[in-house]
Structure 1
Amino acid sequence: MLLKNKLFSIRRYFLLVALCSASAQAQILQAVPSQLQADVAVQTIQTAQFNGAYAMPDEFSAQVVETVFAKGGNAIDAAVAAGFMLAVTFPEAGNLGGGGFMTLAFGSGEVKQAAFLDYREMAPKAALSDLYLDDKGEVIPYKSLVGYAASGVPGTVMGLWQAHQKFGTLPWAELLQPAIDKASHGFVVPDALEKSAQWYQNWVADKSVQPLNFSQYFSGLQSGKVFKQTQLASTLTRIAKQGAVEFYQGKTAQLLAAQYQKNGGLITQDDLNNYQAKWRTPVKVDWFAQQIVSAPPPSSGGIAIAQLLKMYQFLEPQYRAALADAELAGVPKQAVQAHFYAELAKRVFADRAKHLGDSDFYPVPVASLIENRYLRERAEQVNFQAISSTENIQPGKFESPETTHFSIIDPYGNAVANTYTLNMPFGNGVVIEGAGFLMNNEMDDFSTKPGVANLFGVVGGSANQVAPQKRMLSSMSPTLVLQDGKVQTVLGSPGGSTIISSVFQTLINLYREEMNAQQAVNAPRVHHQLLPKDVIVYHPELADDVKQELSLLGYQLKRHNYLGDVQLLWHSEDGWQAAADMRGRGVAKVLTKNAAILR
């Protein structure tokens, strides 16, 4: 009877929403309980009706994906158009002056071949290992974060260009036109963007010895007002006409190099001339009945997620037994779960600090780190009853929250998981004058001094030490899940080092906790990364009894204002689902054969 009443309430709720205007629908969604939202917000589309899907970080990138699909474009076409659109409408992370990773699955039939494109920034040729140290060998505060010395050579334009050259079908210039129009005519600024810009402007004000021009370009970001970027529109127009060569060798390159050389930066025209994105072999592991495909070095994310998932698989029987014991003792499930995840993460982040860096410069032991025997040995060290000593967690023998991710699958079953970033919100505070785009501060993702934590508390070693033309380590983890060669899941997240936790826990929620797509991304998340010692951060909230049990175990608990923004596409037994994380301002949708196109 209770189930029947619940189903009746949901049907009545759907009818009410369908009869209302868009604004009224939004008010209804805000008014209903969060659990009911999770239950009814999932749109499941059978394969026969499927016409593509997306989970995007904002409404403007969502619109452009639908437009591309309506023109017959594929997932790469949509990713290129969305990537440039986000450079206009999501300036805190969408970018021309940054870089990222793309995990893809493409093929002419149902069975797809996985690929990975690394368009991470590279250190300029003038970047040496002591770049951010003073005469005493100590780290100079903020030098790797703020101002001209903080930037690597940007990779985004080259990455999107090379992806389009390999897999795109629609004309390059046509894909950039929506972003050009939006930069020229402007877009209505969301409240979250204005608040982020105000925070950044205050934060950066006293952290650079050189004058920054961020406020000159972005002080006009006011919630509800139209924001135009005419210089950026001109830059995009040049790139649309000439391709990536314009950004790296044309007028834009000249503007960038001249401004950096004038202000003590490291990037030269020669650095720009020599930049290339790289196709790499993705990290692949079998996990239960699925195959996980994720990012290889210089990302730490793919290896870390593979390690977490495999150790979970090996320990699941013990984990379920611990949950049963906890239930008998009146201990909440979430406390056991958070402790278990922290025990796994300690071992993963110890390996990250020792072994991971740019594989072009350092022999990263990828195969050894994800090998079953090694991970079984690591898993056997997990303590379900108490916190393992941080000091005794050693590497096995043998990053910024402000990133953005999108997930796309086209009507043909080709998929793109793309994560790119400037690092901190709005990068290093430098806008290229005459070109209108922000530059990254990715140099902080190197180990400025091995053994010393960066801004985000992540410790690195010599494998990730600064060197000329080296790519800095990242946690970005665009990930696919395949089954029998078919794409089943597309996901990723921003969040610096918490990306790894966000992707891992979302996959567990889907495949082992039997949640639907929206529940999986909205569920509370926890994060632990070896150091700070015995600290678990969480978002959005943990129950009081969960906090009490974790505190009794010896954990320090800290609520984060932000812990990822997962964009998820998932093919359940009943069909496709799409979900944008409640933590962001994303939009997700599964398209049907007769779906109306957003304008």
Structure 2
Amino acid sequence: MAKADASAQSAVAMPDSYSSDTARAILEQGGNAVDAAIAAQFVLAVTLPEAGNIGGGGFMLIQKDGKGDFIDYRETAPSAAHRDMYLDKKGDVITNKSVYGIHASGVPGSVAGMWLAHQKHGSLKWNTLLTPAVKLAENGFIVHPKLASSIERYITRMAKKEVNINFAEHFALAKANTVFKQPELAATLKRIREQGKAGFYEGKTAKIIADFMDEHGGIITQADLKAYQAKSRTPIKADWNGYEVLTSPPPSSGGIAILQWLKMYELIKPSDKLANNSVSYIHLLAEIGKRVFADRAEYLGDPDFYEVPKTELLAMEYLKERSSTITPDKISNTEDIKPGLYESEQTTHFSIVDKWGNAVANTTTINLGFGSGVVVTGAGFLLNDEMDDFSAKPGVMNVFGAIGGKANEIHPHKRMLSSMTPTILLKDNKVKMVTGSPGGTTIISSVYESILNAVEFNMSAEKTVNSPRFHHQLWPKNVIRYHPGLDKQVINALEKMGYSLDERRFGDMHVIINNNGKLDAASEASGRGKAVVF
């Protein structure tokens, strides 16, 4: 590892204060960015139950010692899963079966992902990195009012839906500004601390999970858990506008999508620079989005099961042809936008840069807020509802409105397609920006817009994360979702063009920008994140 300058800065941009303080402490102990990321990941499993997890999965993008790595710890379908498992006898999708309850979960990948990251890149001892999470679960943490409010709303909503979950039994006592302890989760984390990956996928924890599944009609077995493997993949690296974009390969759809978005924007933007969040700017990016999401539905899936045409989708000739039908003042017909080749939102993200210039962009999820709503009794953690990210039936939307096809159909041990897009921007192979966001399919929009904000519009980290964002994904037809704060005249002009505008906040960005050696970090103001440069 390169020697650090004594005055070199580090930075963390985290979804809550506990993960932020932990990551900083690990860096100050001499740990690297990956050590800090592992410690933060386990802390978030305690203090951010909406999305932080050991019962879910995610992607960790790493730039270390001048080289990129991508840790894929996405969940997999259990061995008993099959293509039509969420369809009724008529072949129709059964409402909510892939979203809530025991049948919604894939085999968790988070612990294996952190273990692989540590084996490859960690410098501090594994038990050192687990101890902060163990203490917070055992001794308790003070519940943030926003978390208490989320828990209360979720319990009320689930009661109205009459879904069969045990969430309230475990989280109803988490009240604002009080100490909340999780002894079962603490015991599970201790086994992971002492036994590493085997402390989750084998032995007592694995038996608790499998017995719980068996008791409630679930299909994840001890064999499924033991067979799970996180994977180290080669990140996608592409030139753009004088920078190198290091981003997420399949089974993320996001890396290819943001590169298509950024490159097509470069091809069609007018010579006179467009104003940020102007009518023309939003329209052009929305039109690109239609084409990006049509390709996503057709060509993106788990590369271990389906040959994703990465090179073809990012070829400049293809992107020129793809963007040639975009006009600056007219909406293209949604039904005419087809794939171009021939043939939770309650996720969470964090960004870290250490004093050696290494960086981690980590996005992790249990899919919807609080996942499946099911806590593994005896182990104390929430199960994901990632099976909804498969295509339950070709042409049918999932809970995020994303349409899937054969490339993303359910198959045993297959990873479901994801929009998670941890991304690092490089200049001369040195970190310029670390970015990412939660938000289901809106993740892709948050990430490419953050890059444009920082580079095209030279925004600070704080302005980058808080500038109003917008999102369009082909379907629902001509709908642009946008943050509060978008200019009213812009909204009116877009509506006159034929767009429907939907004001709903999405994402929770945590970004670090390197401005000529000076780090600038920010967490989105609407969340409960904490960013620090030190």
Once the two structures are superposed, the pairs formed by residues 66-465 of structure 1 within 5 Å of their partners are 66-107=24-65, 112-205=66-159, 207=161, 211-317=164-270, 320=272, 323=274, 334-398=278-342, 400-465=344-409
- Rg bigger for which structure? 1
- 1:587 aligns with 530
Q: Distance in 2 between matches of 1:420 and 1:500?
A: 15
Give the letter aligned to residue 480 of structure 1: I
Please list the CA deviations of residues 179-224 of structure 1 after superposition, one character each: whole Å capped at 9, or x if unmatched.
1111111111111111111122122235466x42111100011111
In 2 relative to 1, CA 252–208 (structure 1 residues): closer, same or farther, beyond 3 Å?
A: farther
- 1:40 aligns with none
Once the two structures are superposed, the pairs formed by residues 24-39 of structure 1 within 5 Å of their partners are none
Q: Distance in 1 between matches of 2:236 and 2:484?
A: 30
Please list the CA deviations of residues 448-482 of structure 1 after superposition, one character each: whole Å capped at 9, or x if unmatched.
11101011111111111111111000000000011
1:419: how far off?
A: 0.3
The answer to whether the Cα contact below 8 Å between 2:250 and 2:417 also exists between their aligned partners in 1 is yes
Q: Distance in 2 between matches of 1:482 and 1:95?
A: 29
Runs of 4+ more than 4 Å apart: 206-209
Once the two structures are superposed, the pairs formed by residues 525-544 of structure 1 within 5 Å of their partners are 525-544=469-488
1:385: how far off?
A: 1.0
1:392: how far off?
A: 1.0
Q: Distance in 2 between matches of 1:208 and 1:97?
A: 23
User: Unpaired runs of 5+ in structure 1?
Assistant: 1-46, 325-331, 592-599
Q: Distance in 1 between matches of 2:83 and 2:191?
A: 36
Please point out which of 543, 546, 565 is paired with 2:508.
565
The answer to whether the Cα contact below 8 Å between 1:146 and 1:207 also exists between their aligned partners in 2 is no
Question: Which of the two has greater helix per residue?
Answer: 1
In 2 relative to 1, CA 48–521 (structure 1 residues): closer, same or farther, beyond 3 Å?
A: farther
1:573: how far off?
A: 3.4
TM-score normalised by length of structure 1: 0.87
1:333: how far off?
A: 5.9
Q: Name the SS for the 1:163 alignment partner.
A: helix
The answer to whether the Cα contact below 8 Å between 2:9 and 2:518 also exists between their aligned partners in 1 is no
Q: Distance in 2 between matches of 1:229 and 1:472?
A: 30
1:104: how far off?
A: 0.4
Please point out which of 428, 433, 438 is paired with 1:484.
428
The answer to whether the Cα contact below 8 Å between 1:417 and 1:479 also exists between their aligned partners in 2 is yes
The answer to whether the Cα contact below 8 Å between 1:147 and 1:208 also exists between their aligned partners in 2 is no
Q: Is residue 23 of structure 2 the alignment partner of residue 65 of structure 1?
A: yes
In 2 relative to 1, CA 169–573 (structure 1 residues): closer, same or farther, beyond 3 Å?
A: closer
Q: Name the SS for the 2:63 alignment partner.
A: strand
Q: Distance in 2 between matches of 1:574 and 1:114?
A: 20
The answer to whether the Cα contact below 8 Å between 1:260 and 1:268 also exists between their aligned partners in 2 is yes
Q: Name the SS for the 2:269 alignment partner.
A: helix
Please list the CA deviations of residues 80-125 of structure 1 after superposition, one character each: whole Å capped at 9, or x if unmatched.
1000000000011000100000110111xxxx10111100000001
Please list the CA deviations of residues 249-286 of structure 1 after superposition, one character each: whole Å capped at 9, or x if unmatched.
11111000111111111101110010000111111110
Q: Distance in 1 between matches of 2:499 and 2:522?
A: 32
Q: Name the SS for the 1:405 alignment partner.
A: strand
Please point out which of 467, 470, 480 is paired with 1:523.
467
In 2 relative to 1, CA 207–512 (structure 1 residues): closer, same or farther, beyond 3 Å?
A: same
- 1:51 aligns with 9
Give the letter aligned to residue 314 of structure 2: I
Please point out which of 451, 463, 468 is paired with 1:507.
451
Give the letter aligned to residue 113 of structure 2: G
In 2 relative to 1, CA 101–443 (structure 1 residues): closer, same or farther, beyond 3 Å?
A: same
TM-score normalised by length of structure 2: 0.97
- 1:494 aligns with 438
Q: Distance in 2 between matches of 1:397 and 1:443?
A: 27
Give the letter aligned to residue 537 of structure 1: R
1:540: how far off?
A: 2.1
Q: Distance in 1 between matches of 2:520 and 2:173?
A: 37
Instruction: Say how many residue pairs are matched.
Output: 530
